[in-house]
Amino acid sequence: MDESGLRTFVEGLPKAELHLHLEGTLEPELLFALAERNEVALPYPSSDALRAAYHFADLSSFLDLYYAGCTVLVTEQDFYDLTWHYLTRAAAEGVRHVEPFYDPQTHTKRGIPFETATNGILRALTEGESALGITSRLIMSFLRDDPPMSARATLESALPYDTLIAAVGLDSAEVGHPPEEFADVFSLARARGYRVVAHAGEEGPPAYITGALDSLGAMRIDHGVRCLEDPALVERLVHDRVPLTVCPLSNVRLRVVPTMADHPLRHLIEAGLLVTVNSDDPAYFGGYITDNYLAPALALGLSARDLVRLAVASFEASFLGTGEKAALIADVRAYAETHGVGW
Ligand code: ADE
Ligand code: ZN
């Protein structure tokens, strides 16, 4: 398959997206429209000027811009619009199931009630299922560079939402904020029936991955690419089938790796890890899910069959039930066969 054939193939490939920050889907055009709607002043004259500023030295230089962008999100409708824009784009790129993050504290600390963000997002996700056929499980992510008591307060705010929020996560600036600090709040979250995921081993050391597993009870690791520095940890992740939600374009844009040709995706797959490919903050990193499959495929010489296996892994690593997973994996198989790609 040539590049354009591979792009078309990937666009139609049924897949799940398991590492996606809804706030990271805020495209400059929508950001400017919301700024106008809410009378928020921006330090850039236009959406093009803002996009031109998207050069990051590391995770924290990205987060500065990402949090600044979030200030335009004010009303429930804003959160609905943000989520709906993402869902329509995802549907056009073959996403059948999404487990998105949002960061409630990013909004509550600006005075936006927990309910405002949560209700807007949930309304769009419900409509995404009925109108676009995309199922979802929402993940509420705690900020690891804010105190654990703030995460705890957020957990309390979520009480009325019961089963509407499926999981808790841990994100934001990683280095210097080890998972162990959040052991108590994650323990309480688990007791309340939440599933647990955590960002670890993006910029932080492999010990943060071990910490996320042991102290937080994480069942899936977001990023996790630095596990390769610890062979015993790789063995554990393979043995326990702990999924990694890898985000190739993010890793290049945030300089976790120098270029896509240096990305460890192939090594992670060859080590036998349950690897998935995702888009992280696509409005900031130059591509959505299709580009995140395509860029490493081209740079590392992955085959169409490798990409089919990644799509299967995305459903296996999801929170869906056994029957739902089997049905979606059968769709992947049928799609691959129709396109003459071996299983
Ligand atoms: N918040 C949004 N994107 C993130 C990332 N890639 N790592 C940590 N926190 C984030
Ligand atoms: Zn992330």
* pLDDT tens-digit series, residues 82-125: 999 999 999 999 999 999 999 999 999 999 999 999 999 999 99
In the residue annotation, 202 being an active-site residue is answered as: yes
Give me the mean pLDDT over the 279-289 stretch: 98
Query: For atom 10 of ligand 1, which residue has the closest CA?
Result: 172
Q: Which of 17, 18, 63 to mutate to test the pocket of ligand 1 (most atoms within 8 A of CB)?
A: 63
Q: How far is CA 264 from CA 17, 23, 28, 124, 171, in A?
A: 20, 26, 30, 35, 21
Give me the mean pLDDT over the 7-36 stretch: 98
With 90 as the cut, is the pLDDT of residue 330 above it? yes
Distance in Å, CA 173 to ligand 2 centroid: 10
Q: Is 253 in the pocket of ligand 1 (CB under 6 A)?
A: no
Enumerate residues 6+ apart whose C-beta is below 8 A from 261.
299, 300
Give me the mean pLDDT over the 196-225 stretch: 98
User: Which residue is catalytic, options 17, 202, 235, 316?
Assistant: 202
Give me the mean pLDDT over the 209-215 stretch: 98
Q: What is the pLDDT of residue 141?
A: 99
Q: What is the pLDDT of residue 342?
A: 86
With 90 as the cut, is the pLDDT of residue 146 above it? yes
With 90 as the cut, is the pLDDT of residue 249 above it? yes
Are 169 and 197 in contact by the 8 Å Cβ rule? The answer is: yes
Q: Is 171 in the pocket of ligand 1 (CB under 6 A)?
A: yes
Q: What is the pLDDT of residue 120?
A: 99
Enumerate residues 6+ apart whose C-beta is below 8 A from 276.
16, 18, 19, 243, 244, 245, 246, 310, 313, 314, 317
Residues in the chain: 343
Q: Is 169 in the pocket of ligand 1 (CB under 6 A)?
A: no
Helix or strand holding residue 195 (H, E): strand 195-200
Q: Is 250 in the pocket of ligand 1 (CB under 6 A)?
A: yes
Are 237 and 244 in contact by the 8 Å Cβ rule? The answer is: yes
Q: For residue range 147-194, what is the model confidence (pLDDT) as tens digits? A: 999 999 999 999 999 899 999 999 999 999 999 999 999 999 999 999
Distance in Å, CA 333 to ligand 1 centroid: 32
Q: Which of 56, 281, 284 to mutate to test the pocket of ligand 1 (most atoms within 8 A of CB)?
A: 281
Among 174, 159, 152, 155, smallest CA distance to 62 is for 174
* Ligand sitting nearest the alpha carbon of 17: 2
- Three-state DSSP at 30 gives helix
Q: Which of 199, 203, 223, 249 to mutate to test the pocket of ligand 1 (most atoms within 8 A of CB)?
A: 199
Distance in Å, CA 67 to ligand 1 centroid: 10
Portion of the chain with pLDDT greater than 70, in percent: 100
Q: Is 202 in the pocket of ligand 1 (CB under 6 A)?
A: yes
pLDDT band at 343 (very low <50, low <70, confident <90, very high): confident
Distance in Å, CA 209 to ligand 2 centroid: 14
Distance in Å, CA 126 to ligand 1 centroid: 25
Give me the mean pLDDT over the 2-14 stretch: 97
Distance in Å, CA 159 to ligand 2 centroid: 24
Q: What is the pLDDT of residue 58?
A: 98
Q: Is 81 in the pocket of ligand 1 (CB under 6 A)?
A: no
Q: Is 78 in the pocket of ligand 1 (CB under 6 A)?
A: no
Query: For atom 8 of ligand 1, which residue has the closest CA?
Result: 172
What residues form DSSP beta bridges with 205? none
Give me the mean pLDDT over the 295-319 stretch: 98
Q: Is 203 in the pocket of ligand 1 (CB under 6 A)?
A: no
